[in-house]
């Protein structure tokens, strides 16, 4: 029997917005409200221009908004009127006090728990969607169940595995949905409620359940494993450049072993995004807390290699361009942390832009979706920065192009025409290995890929 459900999501960000839009689309019998403290965000969700760019999301929201999907700033009413509450507020890395730079900053999250407690008049299921340190659900339970007024809260962990740029596809057809709960009768009943909701479009065998701490830990470990693959291939890319091997050939050979698999083996300028670094540092903090220093060091090295790869990219640029970038115009193709998103959180482009400015280069930033965020990220930095959306115009008069995001559009440009407008000798640093390097070289560019020999005219 299909049960009518009233669902609230607190936090209308990259996770909350798309996830609720998908549930609304797949479960017409559910009435879903998404609330946020930020009125501008809510206004944007209610407008023709959504606050985030995500392929397919516009259509999904257009089909559900005003029918069974609502965006609001009224958090109090939201908590009062709904029996199932997803929490997807941001949990950035702490920037102050104990654990600064490593542990998660839980202030938004704790504020949310206290609001839920304050405004609830009936029992609720509260679902952790944000990535949180292991054992956060325990703290949440403790805060929520402090009042003896008959109102009870069941806390579930339901980590989100969607990747930006493919969020709609990932939500529609996930590899798995993980739901962690207490093993008590109440906990299992709450879990079944959530299983029933996902069961409307996800095959039952893909919905896995576990104890609550395993669920929280699995999210951190999944991201740590994914990031580790990138750091592994990036570490080998440095060796390939020295040993005259080709990283694309090496990753193809390695990835064809079915035990390893072919995905997530693209050498790059390093991983970005709001999750990988934050989650690994969380894991490292947790290991240190338990006195597991060797384990902590092991995972911390994944982040160190990522930083090393970004600095190496700058050093390669410097080395190729005669050890000085001062006064040179360098065009950045792409600023988002990956293609098909406007998100720039932890984007390697931020570090690379900052380093280029330190070397006194002039930078022209180009990106089809991320210029607004790029402007905010680079605000206040000393040096000359221009923002030009069209990559061809952005490259005009430049000494070099640094390709930082793998936007498909960069593959299909007229490189002959671009070369003609650039200062000579002209350089391309392909931080994503997506261009036709041989062809660019034949046109006249000096081409520097990642993890393979450069093609130069010197």
> Which of 272, 275, 276 has its CA nearest to residue 377?
272
**In whole angstroms, how close is the CB of 91 to ligand ADP at the nearest point?**
7
Q: Is residue 306 a contact point for ligand UDX (CB under 6 A)? A: no
**In whole angstroms, how close is the CB of 183 to ligand ADP at the nearest point?**
28
8 A C-beta contact, residue 278 and residue 92: yes
Q: Which residue is nearest to ligand UDX (CB)?
A: 273
From candidates 7, 8, 9, 15, binder to ligand ADP by CB under 6 A: 15
Determine how β-strand 207-211 pairs with β-strand 329-333.
Answer: unpaired
Q: Is residue 451 a contact point for ligand UDX (CB under 6 A)? A: no
8 A C-beta contact, residue 111 and residue 96: no
Active site residue 275: yes
From candidates 53, 333, 335, 337, binder to ligand UDX by CB under 6 A: 337
> Out of ligand ADP, ligand UDX, none, which partner does residue 89 contact, by CB within 5 to 8 A per kind?
ligand ADP
Tokens 């049960």 -> residue: 3
> Out of ligand UDX, ligand ADP, none, which partner does residue 299 contact, by CB within 5 to 8 A per kind?
none
Q: Is residue 325 a contact point for ligand UDX (CB under 6 A)? A: no
**In whole angstroms, how close is the CB of 305 to ligand ADP at the nearest point?**
24
Q: What is the 3-state secondary structure (H, E, C) of the chain?
A: CCCCEEEEEECCCCCHHHHHHHHHHHCCCEEEEEECCCHHHHHHHCCCCCCCCCCCHHHHHHHHECCCEEEECCHHHHHHHCCEEEECCCCCECCCCCCCCCCECCHHHHHHHHHHHHHCCCCEEEEECCCCCCCHHHHHHHHHCCCCCCCCEEEEECCCCCCCCCHHHHHHCCCCEEEEECCCHHHHHHHHHHHHHHCCCCCHHHEEEEEHHHHHHHHHHHHHHHHHHHHHHHHHHHHHHHHCCCHHHHHHHHHCCCCCCCCCCCCCCCCCCCCHHHHHHHHHHHHHHCCCHHHHHHHHHHHHHHHHHHHHHHHHHHHHCCCCCCCCEEEEECCCCCCCCCCCCCCHHHHHHHHHHHCCCEEEEECCCCHHHHHHHHCCCCCCEEECCCHHHHHCCCCEEEECCCCHHHHHCCHHHHHHHCCCCCEEEECCCCCCHHHHHHHCCEEECCCCCCECCC
> Out of ligand UDX, ligand ADP, none, which partner does residue 41 contact, by CB within 5 to 8 A per kind?
ligand ADP
Q: How many residues bind ligand ADP (CB under 6 A)?
A: 20
From candidates 16, 180, 270, 451, binder to ligand ADP by CB under 6 A: 16
> Out of ligand UDX, ligand ADP, none, which partner does residue 266 contact, by CB within 5 to 8 A per kind?
ligand UDX
Measured from the CB atom, is 88 or 248 closer to ligand ADP? 88
CA 292 to chain centre: 28
From candidates 2, 38, 122, 173, binder to ligand ADP by CB under 6 A: 38
Residue 422: other Cβ atoms inside 10 A = 21
The contact pattern for ligand ADP, residues 61-80, with x = CB under 6 A and - = no contact, is --------------x-----
> Out of ligand ADP, ligand UDX, none, which partner does residue 15 contact, by CB within 5 to 8 A per kind?
ligand ADP
Catalytic residue among 9, 27, 240, 275: 275
> Out of ligand UDX, ligand ADP, none, which partner does residue 157 contact, by CB within 5 to 8 A per kind?
none
Q: Which residue is nearest to ligand ADP (CB)?
A: 13
Q: Which of residues 162-181 bind ligand UDX (CB under 6 A)?
A: 162-164
From candidates 53, 70, 86, 271, binder to ligand UDX by CB under 6 A: 271
Stretch touching ligand UDX by CB under 6 A, among 156-164, 252-260, 324-332, 434-442: 156-164
226 phi and psi angles, rounded to 5 deg: -65, -45
Q: Is residue 220 a contact point for ligand UDX (CB under 6 A)? A: no
What is the strand order of the sheet 400-403 is part of?
385-387, 362-366, 329-333, 400-403, 427-430, 446-448
**In whole angstroms, how close is the CB of 60 to ligand ADP at the nearest point?**
16
**In whole angstroms, how close is the CB of 391 to ligand UDX at the nearest point?**
18
Stretch touching ligand UDX by CB under 6 A, among 112-120, 186-194, 262-270, 446-454: 262-270
Stretch touching ligand ADP by CB under 6 A, among 5-13, 63-71, 318-326, 428-436: 5-13
**In whole angstroms, how close is the CB of 206 to ligand ADP at the nearest point?**
23
> What are the residues binding ligand UDX (CB under 6 A)?
160-164, 223, 226, 230, 264-266, 268, 271-273, 275-276, 337-338
What residues are annotated to the active site? 275
> What are the residues binding ligand ADP (CB under 6 A)?
10-16, 36-38, 41, 75, 88-90, 108, 111-112, 130, 274
């Amino acid at each position: 029997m299909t049960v009518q459900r009233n669902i609230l999501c607190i936090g209308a960000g990259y996770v909350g917005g798309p996830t609720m839009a998908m549930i609304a689309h797949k479960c017409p019998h559910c009435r879903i409200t998404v609330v946020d403290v930020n009125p501008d965000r809510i206004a944007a969700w209610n407008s023709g221009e959504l606050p985030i760019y995500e392929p397919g999301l516009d259509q999904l929201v257009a089909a559900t908004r005003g029918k069974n999907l609502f965006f609001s700033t009224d958090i109090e009413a939201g908590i009062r009127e709904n029996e199932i509450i997803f929490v997807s507020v941001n949990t950035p890395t702490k920037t102050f006090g104990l654990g600064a730079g490593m542990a998660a900053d839980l202030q938004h999250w704790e504020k949310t728990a206290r609001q839920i407690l304050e405004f609830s008049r009936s029992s609720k299921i509260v679902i952790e969607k944000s990535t949180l340190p292991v054992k956060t659900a325990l703290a949440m339970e403790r805060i929520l169940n402090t009042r003896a007024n008959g109102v009870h809260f069941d806390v579930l962990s339901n980590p989100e595995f969607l990747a930006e740029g493919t969020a709609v596809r990932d939500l529609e057809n996930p590899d798995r949905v993980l739901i962690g709960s207490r093993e008590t009768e109440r906990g299992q009943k709450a879990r079944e409620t959530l299983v029933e909701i996902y069961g409307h479009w996800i095959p039952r065998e893909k919905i896995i359940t576990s104890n609550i701490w395993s669920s929280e830990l699995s999210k951190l470990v999944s991201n740590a494993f994914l990031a580790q693959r990138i750091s592994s291939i990036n570490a080998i890319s440095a060796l390939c450049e020295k040993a005259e091997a080709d990283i694309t050939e090496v990753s193809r050979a390695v990835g064809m072993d079915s035990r390893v698999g072919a995905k997530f083996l693209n050498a790059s300028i390093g991983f970005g995004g709001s999750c990988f670094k934050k989650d690994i540092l969380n894991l490292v903090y947790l290991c240190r807390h338990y006195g597991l220093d060797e384990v902590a060091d092991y995972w911390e090295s994944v982040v160190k290699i990522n930083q090393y790869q970004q600095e190496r990219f700058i050093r390669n640029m410097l080395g190729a361009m005669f050890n000085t970038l001062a006064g040179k115009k360098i065009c950045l193709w792409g600023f988002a942390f990956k293609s098909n998103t406007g998100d720039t959180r932890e984007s390697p482009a931020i570090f690379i832009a900052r380093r280029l400015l330190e070397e006194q280069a002039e930078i022209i930033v180009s990106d089809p979706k991320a210029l607004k965020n790029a402007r905010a990220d680079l605000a206040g930095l000393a040096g000359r920065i221009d923002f030009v959306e069209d990559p061809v115009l952005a490259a005009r008069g430049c000494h070099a192009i640094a390709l930082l995001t793998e936007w498909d559009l960069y593959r299909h440009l007229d490189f002959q025409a671009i070369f003609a407008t650039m200062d000579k000798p002209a350089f391309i640093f392909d931080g994503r290995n997506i261009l036709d390097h041989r062809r660019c070289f034949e046109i006249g560019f000096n081409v520097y890929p990642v993890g393979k020999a450069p093609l130069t005219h010197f």
